[in-house]
Structure 1
């Protein structure tokens, strides 16, 4: 079902008329009728969230997340459930962790290499590979944190915090919002235990991602402000790593502000991120942030789209050169460009952008709600028989049989 069709389904389940629901979200009955009949696309999370709140359902219920992760050569037959089991392992939240762990603690060098391999795979948009191997990394890092002392203990905690951060961003990518929250909480605890301000900042950003995944956009905006106030006294002569995580904190906050329909705060956060990028001086990838002027420009497009300013997204989006960015960032930007073209009714251009994105990173396109909803809406809106290219893409994304 499209998002509009889900709205209609939940509205009927609630015994609610179109007049009542439209009134609750401050819209006309005509608008709601067009939404439910796929004549208006719902592509702004702020609007979808208002409907979810009025219907008393989760945001994920309307956007159809999470999606089933396919078994691949990279993933094998152990995907999200194995990661869920790792996050909900009682040994990690009880006093019995060190004594009861069945995993031998690897060396710090070994878990650092394991961490780097998985972060690199994530930035290459190899989501199945990352999901299937995160349980092992978390188990190894937890065992190290429970076994070592002194300098090695702090190093193990740093690895553990970044492993949980990776779990957070990976889980939000595939729509597992509640698990992402658990991972963000664990990662922040490890970063604080290590006494590492840079990693604490990085994990605070992960918490904002987890908040957004559950539709708590205003809370994510407030956390961005709180985190910035916490970090400012420690911001004299910042390292490149600190500038990068500080800048990406504001980028995450700008998306939250846009999704909360707060244009002023969105601009404020983007300006703060731009200042950090200017101080950094170039695109970089410290702590796998992919932060720099290009990532700021990417977020200008994404936030404009979330605020409904399609003209800005159309004018700026296709002009940004993302070839120097990690694949995950490149393809995420392509999805925004496709959304902007679609909103401008340039469906052929949007389809071409999406097909090129799929060629570069098929898993990322398959699991992102935006690509699935775009293709489904194009199928639903066709007056004639959809093209073979579009139908084949819809089948690859599992939005039609």
Structure 2
């Protein structure tokens, strides 16, 4: 296997040339500036998620193709992290096939194991999670075939939570299509659970799929319709409902930011912040973190998505991450902050943030495409890449920084 050597910009350029398109044609089709296309292809500007999604859609390519995901495994440890994916794929394919004639496990045991899967997801222990999920999905399939009524609905709720963890581990390891399939399975299980908020958590995930394919306006419309389903319930001050309302606004903010609609993104952020203030605490309903801490993390991330590194760095000064904040969220914050520092022109700040992300959530950091983009840019912007930058790049599996 070869390590990651080509940048996103180089892949965009190669794909564009294969289609016989000029840079101007790609810029028009993707609704981005020609100067941005040139800068990304030449390695002078990082490829943002919005740029990747827009150019992939214009070129008729998958986002995973432009990102070259999943990245090659170059060590035994990396091979072990990915080892469960083949078995996960099988379970997603056989999700409605009657299982062999085996007795179901007690529901309390299944609930405990689903909770463990979610804990592994939040702590970003992806190898352990990918190893746990195939057997758990199988056992949950046995259970829902063996029950009915309210007990079966509970099993479907547990199955939905397990599918959410499946989607996250697949996405973070770079299996984007498999992650999308897990979202499909989540929606199916949530619909059987009889839980409206679980269904809306599926809408949150579905909107993420739409945002990833540059359907930003469609995602905003979809999320607006989702919020209308619980708007009349907000006066009841039910914490789980409020948290879902806030999360749906945050996802709408991401769609607007990717589309370049800053005022709209800030308006959704303000709605989420007001909801977090009403809650007054961090929550983990349906394994979607929401509360003051997560809104602050999103506040920085949305500034980065709007390519305003200076604002992102400014906002980051107010972020306090309490003990107990999930490592997935902390790691994601520092990955975003590294991008913000880079846009702000603070290379040392960017590298320091990447180092914190690595210490906090190493596997997530190693496989995150924006980490790869950031470390490439740091190397290119130095007259001679430092040994520490080169070492970090090699740890990510990047061999060529030219």
Same fold (TM over 0.5): yes
Deviations 1:164-194 (A, max 9, x none): 1222233232332222222222222222212
Distance 1:19 1:211, change over 3 A: closer
Tell whether the 8 Å contact from 2:53 to 2:212 is kept in structure 1 after alignment: no
Deviations 1:24-60 (A, max 9, x none): 44666555333222122222x2233332233222233
Tell whether the 8 Å contact from 1:63 to 1:369 is kept in structure 2 after alignment: yes
| CA-CA distance at 1:236 after TM superposition | 4.3
| CA-CA distance at 1:313 after TM superposition | 0.3
Q: Gaps spanning 5+ residues in structure 1: where?
A: none
Q: Which residue of 1 aligns with 2:66?
A: 62
Q: Name the SS for the 1:319 alignment partner.
A: coil
2:342 equivalent to 1:337: no
CA–CA distance in 1 between the matches of 2:121 and 2:32?
Answer: 40
Q: Which residue of 2 aligns with 1:166?
A: 165
What is the 5 A alignment of 1:231-242? 231-242=230-241
| CA-CA distance at 1:12 after TM superposition | 1.4
CA–CA distance in 2 between the matches of 1:187 and 1:372?
Answer: 30
Tell whether the 8 Å contact from 1:181 to 1:211 is kept in structure 2 after alignment: no
Q: Which residue of 2 aligns with 1:362?
A: 362
Q: Which residue of 2 aligns with 1:51?
A: 55
| CA-CA distance at 1:292 after TM superposition | 0.4
Q: Which residue of 2 aligns with 1:200?
A: 199
Cα RMSD after superposing both structures? 2.3
Range 267-276 or range 151-160, more displaced: 267-276
TM-score, reference length from structure 2: 0.90
Q: Name the SS for the 2:226 alignment partner.
A: helix
Distance 1:255 1:2, change over 3 A: same
Q: Gaps spanning 5+ residues in structure 2: where?
A: 1-5
Q: Which residue of 1 aligns with 2:262?
A: 263
Q: Which residue of 2 aligns with 1:308?
A: 307
Runs of 4+ residues over 6 Å off in structure 1 = none
Q: Name the SS for the 1:290 alignment partner.
A: coil
TM-score, reference length from structure 1: 0.90
Deviations 1:318-347 (A, max 9, x none): 431113311111110011111111112211
CA–CA distance in 2 between the matches of 1:285 and 1:16?
Answer: 46
| CA-CA distance at 1:238 after TM superposition | 4.2
Count of equivalent residues: 393
2:87 equivalent to 1:87: no
